[in-house]
Amino acid sequence: MAVRARHAYRVWRDPWKGECSAVLRRNMRAKPPGGFTIIELLATFILIGFMAAIAAPRFGQAMASNRVKNAAAVLRADMELAFSLASRQGAPVRIEVDGGALVYRIKNRADDETLHERRFGAGSDFPLNSLAPSQDEIVVYPNGLASGPLEVTLASGNRTMQVRMTRTGLVRTEGS
């Protein structure tokens, strides 16, 4: 009996020398533990939450900045459109800016027909907080001149931009 116990102990202790079967060898291999511990998962989620808390305010500021930039680019293109419409129609057009309603319109001066309208308030493509014109109305003549310069200040959050149109039709955007 002593020999068997020693032999059994030797098989258990050293299975790779051929004393046990291949099935026993396969079952005796050490398997690495799978998955993650609760501590590892908690640490990962806390780190992700901390990074999100840092990034969230900057993301909001970037969104407001993009809103103002896009609205200023569209307003600039539409002011240039007013000069083009006046020239093409051979008749004066009027640019009306309603800061309270956050709307501007390009109208035919003769019959007050609205040729183009854009809204900037909530629910529009360009949700801004404020649209402040230097003048409420400007007339653009077919010869390429306007009745005066126009400056419109656009704001969303703490981001503002100005769109400036000269009397000769030069339109620029400036941010602050």
What is the mean pLDDT of the segment spanning 131-158?
92
CATH of the domain at 84: 3.55.40.10
**b vs e for 37-62, b when ≥16 Cβ sit within 10 Å of the residue's Cβ?**
eeeeeeeeeeeeeeeeeeeeeeeeee
pLDDT number for residue 153: 93
Task: Please name the residues in contact with 86: beta carbons below 8 A apart, sequence gap of 6 or more.
Answer: 92, 93, 140, 141, 142, 144
In a domain, 47, yes or no: no
In a domain, 88, yes or no: yes
Q: Cα dihedral angle (125, 68, 120, 57), rounded to 10 degrees? A: 70
Q: How far apart are CA 4 and CA 19, in angstroms?
A: 13
In a domain, 38, yes or no: no
Rounded to the nearest integer, the mean pLDDT of the chain is 83
pLDDT at 8 over 50: no
pLDDT number for residue 85: 93
Percent of the residues in the chain that have a pLDDT greater than 90, as a whole number:
51
In a domain, 31, yes or no: no
pLDDT number for residue 7: 47
In a domain, 170, yes or no: yes
Q: What angle do CA 104, 79, 95 make, to 5 degrees?
A: 45
In a domain, 78, yes or no: yes
Parent domain of 151: 63-175
What is the mean pLDDT of the segment spanning 131-147?
93
In a domain, 70, yes or no: yes
pLDDT number for residue 159: 86
Number of domains in the chain: 1
pTM: 0.68
In a domain, 22, yes or no: no
What is the mean pLDDT of the segment spanning 133-138?
93
